[in-house]
Amino acid sequence: MDVNEIVRTLAALRQEIGRVVLGQEATVDLLMTALLAEGHVLLEGVPGTAKTLLTRSFAAVTGLDFRRIQFTPDLMPADVVGNSLFDFQRSVFTLNRGPVFTEFLLADEINRTPPKTQSALLEAMQERSVTLDGTSYALPEAFIVVATQNPIEQEGTYPLPEAQLDRFLFKIRLGYPEKEHEVRMVETHGHRSTMPRLADFHLQRIVEKDFILAARRVVTELRLVPEIVHYIVDIVRATREHPALLAGASPRAANMLATAARAHAAVLGQDYVVPDIVKSLVPLVLEHRVVLTPTAEMEGTTAGQVLSSVLDQIPPPR
């Protein structure tokens, strides 16, 4: 396998998803980037911007085993990871696997559940394993979490702690579609008031798990020259010194940025990373990992603006 095969496959995948979700080609590319980088994704958008539909469509065409958790205030950790049940007939404990034991997990409206339940995903997302009653259980090799949240509704929601946010490779904001795409949406889906049924579209499986694992090996072999490595590290370290930030990005963030850059280069059909790829991914990888000072927040400064100023201060390698 090479990057050309990845590009051809992604084009077919993008076209298949486009039969259901219109105008989200860039987000599909980022979801594929995260999948190849073994990273998780947080989708943020107002209701009705197809966050759930896009995720379900992506899972369908990748052919991964799919489970969905609808996060609610009364959801318990055991509802996510499972528990051990005592079998009185055999006098042994048996494992009752929760929905996290899957390959593609949709954590829908993740900020509607308390931090205690949110934290049930921490080990799964970081180590791809679940510990129950002192025993560790491995999750599938292709395991990925795509979570959604609503940015405008505050009542009944629980902001994700920094430790939880740090587990996501990307935080992607979904905005409103262009008019031409919205017109096509109404033409395609305007005959019902409920979410479109994927079964009606007969989505074809475009990739198999073997393809994903082979593509990941291609990504690990992509060239990352020392100049790009220093560029990534300089960006991350600059966030720790910026006066508008209370906490900058961690060394883990530098590793994630490098991995994402490799994966995105493959998605774009390149076998090496260029500075523009790194720059385009900085907001997606770092914005949810930095913490603004109270003064900056009161002044209306955003993390995106801070990161933009950081990029302006650090010249890219030539």
pLDDT of 65 above 90: yes
Q: What is the pLDDT of residue 273?
A: 96
Mean pLDDT in residue range 27-39: 95
Alpha-carbon gap, residue 58 to 52, rounded angstroms: 10
Q: pLDDT-derived band of residue 15, with 50, 70 and 90 as boundaries?
A: very high
In a domain, 98, yes or no: no
**Do 156 and 13 belong together in one domain?**
yes
pLDDT of 297 above 70: yes
More confident: 156 or 260: 260
Domain end residue (candidates: 216, 244, 260): 216
**Do 153 and 137 belong together in one domain?**
yes
Q: What is the pLDDT of residue 156?
A: 66
pLDDT of 270 above 90: yes
Mean pLDDT in residue range 290-299: 94
* pLDDT digits 0-9 by tens, 160-184: 888 889 999 999 999 887 888 888 8
In a domain, 26, yes or no: yes
In a domain, 271, yes or no: yes
Q: What is the pLDDT of residue 151?
A: 79
**Do 36 and 159 belong together in one domain?**
yes
Q: What is the pLDDT of residue 1?
A: 82
Buried residues in 179-202 as b, exposed as e (16+ CB within 10 A) = eeeeebbeeebeeeeeebeeeeee
**Do 118 and 261 belong together in one domain?**
no
pLDDT of 155 above 80: no
Helix (H, G, I), strand (E, B) or coil at 39: coil
Q: What is the pLDDT of residue 197?
A: 75
Q: What is the pLDDT of residue 187?
A: 79
What's the Cα-to-Cα distance from 145 to each of 41, 43, 114, 276, rounded to whole Å? 6, 11, 18, 27
**Do 138 and 46 belong together in one domain?**
yes
In a domain, 29, yes or no: yes
* pLDDT digits 0-9 by tens, 228-262: 999 999 999 999 999 999 999 999 999 999 999 99
Q: What is the pLDDT of residue 116?
A: 87
Q: What is the pLDDT of residue 167?
A: 92
Whichever domain contains 26, its CATH number is 3.40.50.300
Averaged pLDDT score across all residues of the chain: 90
Domain end residue (candidates: 198, 216, 234): 216
Q: What is the pLDDT of residue 153?
A: 63
Q: What is the pLDDT of residue 194?
A: 66
**Do 166 and 17 belong together in one domain?**
yes
Q: How many domains does the chain have?
A: 2
**Do 170 and 308 belong together in one domain?**
no
Alpha-carbon gap, residue 146 to 162, rounded angstroms: 17
Q: What is the pLDDT of residue 110?
A: 93
Which domain range does residue 248 map to?
222-313
In a domain, 97, yes or no: no
**Do 280 and 182 belong together in one domain?**
no
Q: What is the pLDDT of residue 80?
A: 93
Domain end residue (candidates: 184, 216, 248): 216
In a domain, 91, yes or no: no
In a domain, 257, yes or no: yes
Whichever domain contains 267, its CATH number is 1.10.8.80
In a domain, 82, yes or no: no
Nearest to 292 by CA among 237, 256, 234, 249: 249
**Cross-strand bridge partners of residue 68:** 106
* pLDDT digits 0-9 by tens, 84-111: 776 777 777 778 889 999 999 999 999 9
Alpha-carbon gap, residue 87 to 283, rounded angstroms: 50
Q: pLDDT-derived band of residue 152, with 50, 70 and 90 as boundaries?
A: low
Q: What is the pLDDT of residue 89?
A: 76
